[in-house]
Each structure stands twice: as structure tokens, then as C-alpha cells.
Amino acid sequence: MDIYCTLHELTDCESGIVVFGDFEKETAITGIASGEIIIGNWMQVSGIPRVDPAGIGLVGLGEELEIVDTGELTDIGAYLKVGVDSGDASLVFDQNDDFDGLGGLKGKVYTVKANGTKFEVITPDGWN
């Protein structure tokens, strides 16, 4: 079991998408997006990325991160849009207004656990 301090270490990417939700119910590997969606740069974030109190960036609390599962997405935009359109998911932070440009993008998805919390991390192909 490998333990990571940052999503950058875990994914080898400095930015991407984090989805918080009920992953006993649905995951990117098995269903549609549910919960809160954050899109941004996590390069300097230690632990689980969260929107800072001012709403302008991401911060972490230094939790240890563990990969539970991995998979591939063939259309990240469609996966997220179905969740948002159905009301199962909400976009709470989009640092560079990337949400609308995710249609048709492929990428890797990780189910990650930290302090008993499971969440998804999606890294679109071609992103840093």
C-alpha cells in the first residue's frame, strides 16, 4: 500500500478534477458523477484539496492519500455533465473555467481514500 502526501505525487499531474460523493453508490468506474466537483491546480496542496474560505484557490490539511482503485474514462465531460444535469453533482470550483471544455476528453480516474473519506481524482489526458 503506497501512501502519498499530494495528488501531484499520486497522479504525476499538477491539476485535474476532484469529485466528492457517495462512492458506495456510484463512481466514475461504475456510474455517473455524484457530489461536489472541484477543478483546479493541486500542485501545492498537501492532502485532500478543498476550496479555500475565500473561494479563490485550493488548500489541504495534510492528510495521507491512498489509491483504492483506478480506471479510464472515455469522455470526462459527458460523465460530469450527466451528474450535474441530473442534480446528483454540482460544480463548486472551476479555477480556469475548464468544465465546458472537458467534452470528449479521455483520462484516468483514481478512487482515493484519506482519513476514511473516499473521493475521485480525474486527470484528463494532455493536462499537466
Higher pLDDT, 18 or 116: 18
Confidence of residue 33 (pLDDT cuts 50, 70, 90): low
Distance of alpha carbon 22 from alpha carbon 35, whole angstroms: 7
Q: Is the pLDDT of residue 31 over 90?
A: no
User: What's the chain's average pLDDT?
Assistant: 88
Cβ atoms within 10 Å, residue 93: 18
Name the E strands within the chain.
15-20, 35-41, 50-51, 58-59, 66-73, 89-94, 107-114, 117-124
Instruction: Check residue 29 and give its pLDDT.
Output: 45
Strands 50-51 and 117-124: unpaired
32 pLDDT exceeds 80? no
Per-residue pLDDT reduced to its tens digit, 43-92: 999 999 999 999 999 999 999 999 999 999 999 999 898 878 878 788 99
Q: How far apart are CA 84 and CA 80, in angstroms?
A: 6
